[in-house]
Structure 1
Amino acid sequence: MTNVLGGSDRRLKFGIFFVCLALYIAVGYWLQIQNGFIMGDTLSRVSSTRSVLFSRDPHLAALGFIFTPVAAMVQIPAVWLSPFFPEITARAFSGTLMSALFMSGAAVQIFSMGADRGLPRAYALAITAMFALNPMIVFYGSNGMSEGPFIFFMTWAVRRLIMWMVDDDVHHLVTAGGVAMGLAYLTRYDALATVGAAGLVVGITTYLRARPAPRVRRAVMDMLIVSGPGVAAFLGWAVAGWLITGEAFAQFTSQYGNAAILEQSGMTAPNTVEAVSFAGACIMLLAPTLLPLMLWAIMQRWGRPNWQMLVAPLAMFGAVLAFQALSYAQGSTFPFLRFFIIAIPMAATLALLGVPDGTFAPPKRRGKYAPAASVVVPQRRTAATYVVVASTFAIGIPVTVVGMSLPDYAPQEYGLAAVLAPDPGDVTDRAATEQRIARTFATERRIADYLETLDLPDSSVITDTVYGFGIIAASPRPKMFVIPSDPDFTELLNDPVENGVRYLLSVPPTGRGTSDALNLRYPTLYETGAEVATLELEIPNDGDGQPDWRLYRVADPSESG
């Protein structure tokens, strides 16, 4: 058994990465390209990324400021190839490539948490495999959502801070804070909670360790190293959004943000008991043995050398779970199972910390205030300990399968049944809904195909991206569309007749459609054409939660005159 990092461990990490990468890409290809099962946020990001390269006015700010940018920006190289491989955008396959890369990296980080501490390879591999093959991890490693990069950055940061607790090596702080947590915030807003938690953990730890004066200054310095970049990312993204759009926090203030979507959908904030109950249920569905693993790890480590390693994962992962529960309680986010997915890597980390340490990887530079490297009598290693802890962690897999099938907790996942186990004879309402979920964006692809047959010039069709992103992503000619990120969008929308616009794509002015720019400018457009256009085509939608479209042909200038 190899207890320290070496060439063989590096090869094993490469092997883990590429096996997971192949698995997640294959699943994504099967789901999205072969079956058309595409998540809305994934396709929206792909459409925005495409606008950066191929819209009427290509520019980086076309990514928008509703989502943080990392998950979209890293797709730019793949989207650049979309003229040669249209499915990259039409079926959001660039998103699959992105999430697969990051989730594979997260699997490597989980394995490395064991390798760093010299755990038996078989055990570290077993925990890594159970993490990587968890159905939620497989799904979100393959569907192009932001969970993949977020879990990668979180596990990377936690892993490095676990080791910092042991050796006080400043390189861990720089990597965890200067890279991982800063990028985590630029991937998901909930990383801000872990930025704060890490700062507190590091500051308090340094203060307690560095007893000679000036201990406060040392504590503050370490806090700045680990949390400063995350705070800078928070401020920088807010300033950029304010300078470009006039809104520092568009996710919460924009007509396209979460707060607006919740209001438009008629959703109300739950009371505290409901919010806590929902959060607890989601955590139990994703990691049902999280509490036993945590208690076991504490019992095994309390009062023993390096017990402080437990603080980092409990504080950092716990901060994200608490942030999500609080956000739901305040009515600023949705009741989605996936928002608590960080419970899975948290449980994996505790499973790795719940067994005896081996030989630690040597630090690059052991810190001055690292705990004394005392001679420790090796703890007895019995196979039973590893089997029991691993089996406890494994319980999460079948429970998560059940959780993903529950519409009340997993409204975005339970529709997978329509492609995983299709039953043509099932005529229940639930089966019909599952099939509609699986068909989401199929109508939008047909609209894109129809518009392509019209052989329209550039700037011919005005649509908002509230719902129109699916059509734009599927079209082989995105310059055909005038969209809100174009600088002349308002000008053309105000006078489509004189500006040569041929068509207006309209959605009902209800629900999210109330924020559609065309409905705001022409409140009667969907019903009557608002005296600027005549109805050419009505397209019923067979996707779940998607609107019935109406294609209006703009009046010819000679006719209006």
Structure 2
Amino acid sequence: MTDRRVKQLAFVASFLVYAAAGYWLQVKHGFIIGDALSRVQAAQSVIDSRQPHLAAIGFIFTPLTAMVDIPGILLRGVWPDMVTYGFVASLASALFMAGGVVQALSIGTDRGLPRPYILAITAIFALNPMIVFYGSNGMSEAPFIFFLMWTVRRLIMWMVDDDVHHLISAGFIALSLAYLVRYDSVGAIASVGFVVALTTYLRAPRPPRIRRALLDMMLVSGPGFLAFVGWAIASWLITGNAFAQFSSQYGNAAIFLQSGGTGPASFGTGVQYAIVCMTLLAPTLIPILLWAGVIRWRRPNWGVLVVPLVVFGGVLAFQTYSYATGQTFGFLRYYIVAIPFAACMAMLAVPDGALAEPKRRGRNALAPATGSTIRPARYGYLPVALAFALCMPVAGWGMSLQRYAPQEYSLGAVLAPDPHNTSDKATSQRRIAATFSTERELARYLDNLDLPEGSVITDTVYGFAVVVASRDPKTFIVPSDNDFVKVLNDPAAFGVKYLLSVPNTGRGVSDAVNLRYPTLYETGGDVATLELEIPNDGDGQPDWRLYRVNEPASEA
């Protein structure tokens, strides 16, 4: 069977596994992570809201993860649950993570490694519990891993054959799109640009070496820098905030403070926490890395080891610094790239075979390394594979630790349900697993009222889960609508029937309805009368109050 056929089968098999896992978790059990569902609602607003427009995608997160959900939104009429339960996002994750699996496999085939070894490393990577979970839940981790793996693969090839096309693929496509998935990419963009420039400078002829180094750096990092600047300008022109993620009331920094986050006790404590997270996900990364260094030391293509270090290492360093300085949450998933990092190193920690023939060998290409020039014993493949395989059970165990995996540990309520267990941990797991069930019931209640368009005002801080579960999202007036502020200031005059209210505490302080009517949740704010109170079954979700807007006073 040809390598191409193997890659096609790997993609299809991986996609089916991840899509099935997503369906089982999200549609069958309602286990949905909020960020994934909020992105589905943002994508829905682009094409299926009262005032559809592209800017409704929002500027808190970079846009690509939500934009790829848009085609699936069009199928809402065929299968409403695809949107209600965020399964459209699961399918997008499955596609990207399956692409990441193919990239991992391709790193091995590019090196000419034995097929059984390539398949073993690829399967261990693909079936890692964290990879399966984030390949199926609609979050940004899957596309992020795919683009980083693509970057690593292309740069490894460039290190050997100096083909400029690899820099173009890595820079113009992979790294720039990675930034449009996650802000963490800035670490990789900066570190990759530096290493590429240094590599070109060291091996180029003396007279043009500086010029060539600068050109190569621009090729690989320039597009990512332009994506950074372009997204900031677009955000500033439309919202007035160039970096809404950091300065907006809806951004991560604000969410962190509103949720009572205090960050680590010290910078050192934060670094230690990050190291523990990375160790839980890839406990054998350092030994594999050291072994790779031993077998490639002083060999012509030792530089290929630098590529995973700067790409994944740049991202991990950025995340570690962000958490240690109290700018983000302590989530295990923020360090998930340690797993593909270990997979790439496992492909480099064994002897090369016949390298893939370059389409265009550059003038500074290295002589290809082969198994005859790198000579650990052939049984060296098995220890590396076993070392990498150890990541699977350790990562699965790490996902059960509430301190390090607050978003993953609740999977226990789905994987091993025990309704008779009344411990605090079991109760917390069940509440997390039930998150957004109340919002779906609230959406059904409002749908059954057969309200006209623009009848309900809600902010999407919490309301996104209600809007996305509704049969008709046009029923809701949301902040992305151009007339939201005008209608909110005088709801009765614009025919609004209801206000959806959440407590004016925690994240609720950023809710636009609370900002306009600070006492609405408690008293109705002199504009509405309480009609319904809805206690919430989900963890960290507010108890809702539905207020009927008072009729305007008649003129004498």
TM tier, shorter chain? Answer: over 0.9
Q: How far did residue 264 of structure 1 move?
A: 0.8
Give the match for residue 405 of structure 2: 410
CA distance in 2, matches of 1:237, 1:159: 26
Number of the residue aligned with 2:414: 419
TM-score by length of 1: 0.97
Distance in 1 (CA, whole Å) between partners of 2:514 and 2:223 is 41
Aligned match for 1:96, one of 90, 96, 100: 90
State yes or no: 1:550 paired with 2:550: no
Q: Please state if 1:530 is matched with 2:548.
A: no
1:209–1:370 Cα contact (<8 Å) kept: no
In the alignment, structure 1 residue 371 sits paired with structure 2 residue 341: no
Query: Of 167, 179, 187, which aligns to 1:185?
Result: 179
1:315 and 1:12 mapped to 2: Cα distance? 29
Aligned to 2:57: 63
CA contact (8 A) 2:263 2:329 kept: no
CA separation of 1:535 and 1:27: change in aligned 2, threshold 3 A: same
Structure 1 residues 560 and 512: CA distance shift in structure 2, 3 A: farther
Give the C-alpha shift of residue 84 in structure 1. 1.9
How far the C-alpha of 1:556 sits from its partner, in A, is 1.6
Once residues 302 and 255 of structure 2 are traced to their aligned partners in structure 1, the CA distance between those partners, rounded to angstroms, is 44
Tell me, which stretches of 5 or more residues in structure 2 are unaligned? none
The equivalent residue for 2:204 is 210
Alignment partners' CA distance in 1, 2:461 and 2:340: 33
- My pick for the range that moved more, 15-24 or 78-87, is 78-87
Q: Deviations over 1:498-548 (max 9, x none)?
A: 111000000000000000001000010000001100000000001000000
Partner of 1:359: 354
**In structure 2, the residue corresponding to 1:557 is in which secondary structure?**
coil
Mapped partners of 2:255, 2:372: distance in 1: 58
The answer on 1:26 being equivalent to 2:20 is yes
What is the aligned partner in structure 1 of residue 334 from structure 2?
A: 339
Q: Tell me which residue corresponds to 2:39.
A: 45
Corresponding residue for residue 78 of structure 2: 84
Q: Which amino acid aligns with 1:392?
A: A
Higher mean C-alpha displacement, 410-419 vs 84-93: 84-93
Deviations 1:182-209 (A, max 9, x none): 0000000001110111101100000001
How many correspondences in the alignment?
555
Q: Distance in 1 between matches of 2:276 and 2:370?
A: 43
Name the TM-score, length of structure 2 as normaliser. Answer: 0.98
Is the partner of 1:188 in helix, strand or coil?
Answer: coil
Match of 2:145 in 1: 151
Describe the SS at the equivalent of 2:548.
Answer: strand
Instruction: Give the letter for the 1:247 counterpart.
Output: N
Cα distance between partner residues in 2 of 1:296 and 1:380: 13
- Paired letter, 1:250: A
Name stretches of at least 5 consecutive residues in structure 1 with no aligned partner.
Answer: 1-6
Q: CA deviation at 1:558?
A: 4.9
**How far apart are the structure 2 equivalents of 1:451 and 1:114?**
54
Residues 437-465 of structure 1, C-alpha deviations (whole Å, 9 max, x = no match)? 00000000000000011110000000000
CA displacement 1:74-95 (0-9 Å, x = unmatched)? 1111111112211111000110
Q: Which residue of 1 aligns with 2:256?
A: 262
Does the 8 Å contact 1:83/1:476 carry over to 2? no
Q: How does 1:274-285 map to 2 (within 5 A)?
A: 274-285=269-280
Within 2, Cα distance between the matches of 1:559 and 1:425?
A: 57
**Deviation string, structure 1 residues 209-253 (Cα, Å, up to 9, x no partner):** 103312100000000000000000000000000000000100000
1:235-314 aligned at under 5 Å gives the runs 235-270=229-264, 271-314=266-309
Once superposed, what is the RMSD of the aligned Cα atoms? Answer: 1.2
In the alignment, what sits opposite 2:430? Answer: 435
In structure 1, give the amino acid aligned to 2:427. A
Q: What's the CA shift for 1:21?
A: 0.2
AA aligned to 1:31 is L
Relative to structure 1, the CA distance from residue 375 to residue 360 in structure 2 (aligned partners, 3 Å threshold; closer, same or farther) is closer
Match of 1:540 in 2: 535
**Which residue does 1:3 correspond to in 2?**
none
Q: Does 1:327 align with 2:322?
A: yes
Q: Who is 1:394 aligned against?
A: 389
Q: Alpha carbons of 1:97 and 1:10: their partners in 2 closer, same or farther (altered >3 Å)?
A: same
Question: What per-residue deviation string (whole Å, max 9, x for no partner) do you get for residues 156-186 of structure 1?
Answer: 0001001100000001000001100000000
Q: Distance in 2 between matches of 1:18 and 1:382?
A: 34
Distance 1:507 1:469 in 2: 13
Q: Deviations over 1:314-333 (max 9, x none)?
A: 11110100000000112111
- Structure 1 distance, partners of 2:285, 2:291, is 10
- Find the partner of 2:116 among 116, 122, 135: 122
Distance in 2 between residues matched to 1:447 and 1:379, nearest whole Å: 64
Match of 1:170?
164
1:383 Cα deviation from its structure 2 partner: 4.5
**Whole-Å separation in 2 of the counterparts to 1:387 and 1:109:** 22
Change (3 A) 1:374 1:310: closer
Per the TM alignment, residue 375 of structure 1 is displaced from its structure 2 partner at its CA by 8.2
Indicate the SS of the match to 1:367.
coil
SS in 2 for 1:256: coil
Partner residue of 2:475 out of 476, 480, 502: 480
- Code of the aligned partner of 1:179: I
Distance 1:299 1:53, change over 3 A: same
In the TM superposition, residue 55 of structure 1 has moved relative to its aligned partner by 0.4
SS at structure 2 position matched to 1:498:
helix
Identity %: 62
The one-letter code of the counterpart of 1:446 is E
d(CA) in 1 for partners of 2:416 and 2:378?
38
Deviates more, 1:158-167 or 1:262-271: 262-271
Q: State which of 492, 510, 532 in structure 2 corresponds to 1:515.
A: 510
Deviation of 1:371 (Å): 2.1
Alignment of 1:134-149 (within 5 A): 134-149=128-143
SS class of match (2:493): coil
